[in-house]
Amino acid sequence: MKKVITYGTFDLFHWGHLEMLRRARELGDHLTVAVSTDDFTEQDKHKQCACSYAERAAIVGAIRYVDCVIPEAKWEQKPNDVREHNIDIFVIGDDWEGTFDELLGGLCQVVYLPRTPDISTSGIKHSLSRTPAPAPHSTT
């Protein structure tokens, strides 16, 4: 059995997230997804999530391509996760190209997948922040 792992915040789950998980799963028989915890996201990634860790982990865990969800609490946990979960392939978006080669190269294969064009959580948040809220519906 070939085991794959990927990491992410997965806030405002969208098509790009789904495509990443689908393509990651195609590389193996079992997909573990590490979802960033709230503290890690806020303190280390300096991001504010719209959804809590529990909500994001539940959404990711409900995806048919995902076999296991674990928390990502710190940057440095990746080598331990690879060893603990007997991972063969580490997958991440190509915006991280080269970042994990040295850290994980001796432990597993490292694959950088192209991002899905024209979609990102940051872009969605930016778009939403510029769009006025719709007027409430009248109940009369």
Catalytic positions are 45, 47
The dihedral built from the CA positions of residue 7, 46, 15 and 93, taken in this order, carries a sign that is negative
Q: Check: CB of residue 45 under 8 Å from CB of residue 10.
A: no
CA 82/CA 73 separation, integer angstroms:
15
DSSP 13: -
User: Looking only at Cα atoms, what is the longest distance across the chain?
Assistant: 66
CA 2/CA 87 separation, integer angstroms:
8
Under DSSP, is residue 120 helix (H, G, I), strand (E, B) or coil? coil
